[in-house]
Structures are given as C-alpha cells and as structure tokens.
Amino acid sequence: MAVGAVSNGIESDVNRWQYLNRFLTTPGPFTDDEATLGDEIIQRISSMKILVIGAGGLGCELLKNLALSGFKDIHVIDMDTIDVSNLNRQFLFRQADVGRHKAEVAAEFVEKRVKGVKITPYCGKIQDKDEDYYMQFGLVICGLDSVEARRWINAMLVGMVDGDNPDSLKPLIDGGTEGFKGQSKVILPTMTSCIECQLDMHAPREAVPLCTLATIPRQPQHCIEWAHIIAWEEERKDITLDTDDPEHITWLFQKALARAQEFNIQGVTYSMTQGVVKNIIPAIASTNAIIAASSCNEALKLASSTNPGLGMPGSNNYMMYSGDEGIYTYTFEHLKKDDCPVCGNLAKKIEVNSNITLRELIENLAERPEARQLKKPTIRTEAKSLYYQAPPSLEEQTRPNLDKKLTDLVSDGEEIAVSDPAYHQIQFRFKLLFRS
Ligand SMILES: [Zn+2]
C-alpha cells in the first residue's frame, strides 16, 4: 500500500473496499441472474438499515463484520452493561468501559475504526420497541443468548408481515452458540420455518414450576433453584442477593446440598450452584467468531444477491456447527410446522389426563417442552374464559375454575387458546385429547 493511501482518507477508503467491491461488481458462477451488480448494489448495502440484536460475544463480532462488509447504517440493541468477565472475548470493550452499556461502547468503537459507518445504539430491551421501529429495517440479525428474546422478536417479525406490502417481510438471521457448538439460520417470516417451529432444536433450561421446587425436587438444579428462590427469601430476605459474592453463593450451595441430601439427589456442587444462579452459558470466542461470520455472510448475500444464501423457501435454511469432536457442519432445511403457535394455522395436539384440574393443567403446561415458559397463562376456549391472570376482576371471577376438573370445563378434542405476558403476541393453541 502506498504511503499516500494511509494519509489520504479517500484513497484509503478505496483500498479498504477494493476486494469487497470487486465481488459486488463482477458476476460469478453463482450470481443470481436478476442481480444488478455494480454501484447500485454497493449503494443498496451501504444505505440498508440493519438491526443487530445483542452486543455481547456474538454481537461484537457481528458489528465488526457488518461494518467491514459495507453496511453503513447499523442499529444495535442491548440492555446489558459491561462486566469485567466479558473482556476476554467481547473485544470492542476495554477495562475502562466496565459498567457502561455494551451497545453504546460497541457503537463508538466500530464507528471510530471504520470511517463512514453509522451505528445507532439503543440501551434497553427489544420489548421497549414497537412495530413501527422494527419496520424501518431491511433485515434483523440476532446474536442473543436468550431463547425468550429470540421468541419475542420472531413473533414480532412474523406478526408484522402484511401480504400486500412486500417491505413488511424482514428476513431474520439468527446465530447462537453454546460452548463448541453453534448454529446460524435464516428465517423469512411466514414463508419458512420460524424460531418457534425450531424450538425443539434448542435445549434451554425448562421452566420448573414453583410447586416442584417446593415439594418434590428431582434434579440437583431443582435444589439450587429452591435455595435461590425460596430459601433465600425465607431466611435472608433483608439481604440483596449478589451473585458475584462468594459468601452468598456458598450459602446457597450449602442450602442446596442439604436439600439434595434430604431427597437423595446427587450432583450439587459449588460451580453448578454458580452456573444455575448466574445462568451461565459457556462461551468460546472462536465459536462466536465462526457463527457470527456465517451469519454476516448470509446478510451480505441476502442484501446483494451475489450468491445464493440460506433461507429461500424449499431450500436449506439452517446451518449447524459442531466443534466439540473435531469439526462438523451440517446444513439442512428445517421445515415449517403447521401447528406452530406463531406461524402455523393448526392447533397443537396435547394429551392430558382427564382427571386433572385446570390448575394442574397450568402446571403441566409450564413443564411441557412445546409450551415451556408459559408461567402465567391466561386460558380460554372459543366459547368461554377458563382462567385470566388479569385484570383483577376477571382473575377473581375465573379463579374458581382452577380447582375444577378439566372434564367439567372442556370436552375431549376441544381447542384452548393460551396466552402469556412474556409472549404477548403469541396465542398458543392446543387441542386437548383426554386420556383416562
Ligand atoms: Zn413457526
């Protein structure tokens, strides 16, 4: 590179983008026939508004990659602040940034390093924003570690699709990692399999109903959650639990251990206690780099049509990467489910014991993998309200139903609709099949 290239802003800009621009201006063997390569595409990429959700391990990589792929109008949402333990892999953050918001610091860093890129941070929750906000983007890329947040944004984007307005369909690229494993996938809301269709591919910690924790724990994790949620509240409620305080974790560990012994459950350890209480998901920097790179490549392909990407209906949409035993990747088409509560139009069939009460059904729903996280469900049939969490008057009115038997409330094969404040846009539909 000539010396002038470094000192002259314009010239260095040309140098920085010359390889990317060559790829965007010269057709290759896989280029879509309808792609209009050249300035038009370079312009389209640089003016496309793109939303990155998460500015953590994956998010840092995504922001850096997107900025270096020619995207110039990037928005990023993250509610977290920087913790010292993030610094080993979240490379846009420095010691001096500890305590500041991730989205803000990440935006500043990338803007400084890649001239001409504008990154607009929002430090808060995705749930703070509405349809109008999400409508402004060309595509959305997630680098999240929470299934709940994924499900929320997925339901939002599926709900936004309006058949008469092609711009309302926002491709969603979702990357995720856990230790040496990861996946990246492309979702065209309503057209291809969505996050909710794919829930069985994730293995999140199931929501354990409070009654299980309080009465009959079955796993070491249940004992830890019991110490965390119930014992602390009963015995130390004047002290705010600090999950970084070793004395607090030790207290929880000993409580959990005693409870595990009482129920003859093996396996409670100090580090498991720490993991459960802090909800630690192991993160490996290189896995994040691989998954973010593939997600970003999909974004570039979607935006430019230079190469076929994942996600077109009837073709592969899901790439899984496994690095824990050698390296293996597998790409396949994950099929849309007709009984998906978000994008399908059929109710999901579930078998239930006809002798249980509505209260037991609610507890049962929280434990079922296909309905997990429904902790505060409101339930109704087409004809009547079975149980409402809110408003208080309706709650009071429907409360007596909780102790009634299902057979007194619904008939075999009847459909129920379940909603939950955590997923305000999703109406879960279940067809109840009685077994005695
Ligand atoms: Zn779906």
What is the torsional sign of CA 409, 413, 417, 420? positive
Residues 227 and 277 sit within 8 Å (Cβ to Cβ) = no
CATH 1.10.10.520 fits 210-278, yes or no: yes
- Domain edges within the chain: 3-203+283-332, 210-278, 348-435
Task: Find the 343 Cα to ligand 1 centroid distance in Å.
Answer: 4
- Give strand pairing partners of 50: 74, 139
DSSP 76: E
Q: How far is CA 426 from the centre of its chain?
A: 15
- Parts of the chain with a pLDDT under 50: 1-8
Cα–Cα distance for residue pair 297/61, rounded to 1 Å = 12
Task: Please give the CATH number for the structural domain made up of 348-435.
Answer: 3.10.290.20
The two tokens of residue 300 are 């570039």
Residues 102 and 94 sit within 8 Å (Cβ to Cβ) = no
Sheet holding 73-77, edge to edge: 118-122, 73-77, 49-53, 139-143, 172-178, 181-187, 318-322, 328-332
- Asked about 197 being catalytic, the answer comes back as no
Task: Find the 198 Cα to ligand 1 centroid distance in Å.
Answer: 7
- Give strand pairing partners of 332: 318
Structure confidence at residue 44 (pLDDT):
93
Structure confidence at residue 10 (pLDDT):
55
Cα–Cα distance for residue pair 180/286, rounded to 1 Å = 8
The top-level CATH class assigned to 3-203+283-332 is alpha beta
Cα–Cα distance for residue pair 387/161, rounded to 1 Å = 30
Task: Find the 92 Cα to ligand 1 centroid distance in Å.
Answer: 34
Structure confidence at residue 397 (pLDDT):
92
Share the mean pLDDT of the chain.
Answer: 89
Q: What is the dihedral of CA 32, 37, 40, 41, to 10 degrees?
A: 60
Cα–Cα distance for residue pair 122/129, rounded to 1 Å = 10
* Beta strands 49-53 and 139-143, pairing class: parallel
Cα–Cα distance for residue pair 196/203, rounded to 1 Å = 13
Task: Find the 191 Cα to ligand 1 centroid distance in Å.
Answer: 9
Task: Find the 215 Cα to ligand 1 centroid distance in Å.
Answer: 35
Structure confidence at residue 6 (pLDDT):
47
Question: Of 157, 163, 164, which Cα lies nearest the Cα of 138?
Answer: 157
Catalytic residue among 60, 194, 197, 211: 211
Question: Of 253, 322, 316, 312, which Cα lies nearest the Cα of 287?
Answer: 322
Residues 61 and 288 sit within 8 Å (Cβ to Cβ) = yes
The two tokens of residue 261 are 């012994």
